[in-house]
Amino acid sequence: MKAPALFLGHGNPMNAIDDNLFVTTLNRLGKTLPKPKAVLVISAHWTEPFSAVSLHESELLYDMYGFPRELYMVTYPAKNGDFLIPRLQNMIPDLRVEKRALDHGVWSVLLHLFPDADVPVIELCINSKFSMREHFEMGKALGVLREEGVMIVGSGNVTHNLREAVLGDKDASVDAWAKEFDSFVKDALVSHDFDALIDFETRQRYAHLAHPTKEHYIPLLYIAGASMSDEKSRFVYEGIEHGNLSMRSWITGE
């Protein structure tokens, strides 16, 4: 059975342990989806100047600072999807295999989708040498894995500028620039205008404000690339928190 592809706005790491509408949405979604053979995750929190996949051995990276102690006590003992490595090596030239724990961009969302940690996971890093179009094309190449029952998840955020965010107030009034950029992405996904997403830095006037660095945007390009033109898609969650942090999440091929 073909597995879906998802872009998830992971937002505040506290979503891993909080009880809120976003978390409830992921829980409900996980219960409706057929269990995949494995999950391949592209997270904003692993960027290298090369292409690599992880061997995580069930450990986690607590790659966030200044949060309550209970967040650092979270466990997610998912098996490694290392059986996918030969397949991925055939698809990605010079792919490295790195011993690396899963970062919070992975476990903070998967523990709500698959709380029993019973689906193997493998993480693919963002190659910082790629252009935006090369990221999209890589997503398109990886899309064939969906036909083999592998779910592809991009974990980032449609907007991500922590310097401008009101971190102490989740319900702060929404900045106009964030709303406009979020709408730009929404419209591009609905109309399948993926060239607009690829060329977002020249197509949208607030691109550099929405993404001073691009690592939280890039996972969206992988999921857009992995989507199929003839399949249905929908937004499983919409909302902007902390003044300008978009939590927009999108699924295709459900």
pTM over 0.95: yes
**Mean pLDDT rounded to a whole number for the chain:** 96
Q: What is the pLDDT of residues 149-201, one digit of tens each?
A: 999 999 999 999 999 999 889 999 999 999 999 999 999 999 999 999 999 99
pLDDT value at 58 more than 80: no
Length of the chain: 254
In-domain check, residue 248: no
Q: What is the pLDDT of residues 100-153, one digit of tens each?
A: 999 999 999 999 999 999 999 999 999 999 999 999 999 999 999 999 999 999
In-domain check, residue 178: yes
Which residue segment(s) compose the domain that 23 sits in? 5-243
pLDDT value at 229 more than 90: no
What is the arrangement of strands in the sheet containing 38-48, beginning at the earlier edge strand? 96-99, 52-55, 121-127, 38-48, 150-156, 5-9, 249-252, 233-237
Centroid of chain to Cα 54: 16
CATH number at residue 61: 3.40.830.10
The pLDDT assigned to 24 comes to 97
* Contact criterion met (CB below 8 Å) for 132 and 218: yes
User: Given the structure tokens 């996904």, which residue do they identify?
Assistant: 189
In-domain check, residue 137: yes
What total number of domains does the chain contain?
Answer: 1
The pLDDT assigned to 237 comes to 98
Strands 5-9 and 96-99: unpaired
In-domain check, residue 118: yes
Q: How far is CA 206 from CA 5, 101, 140, 181, in A?
A: 27, 34, 27, 6
In-domain check, residue 213: yes
In-domain check, residue 251: no
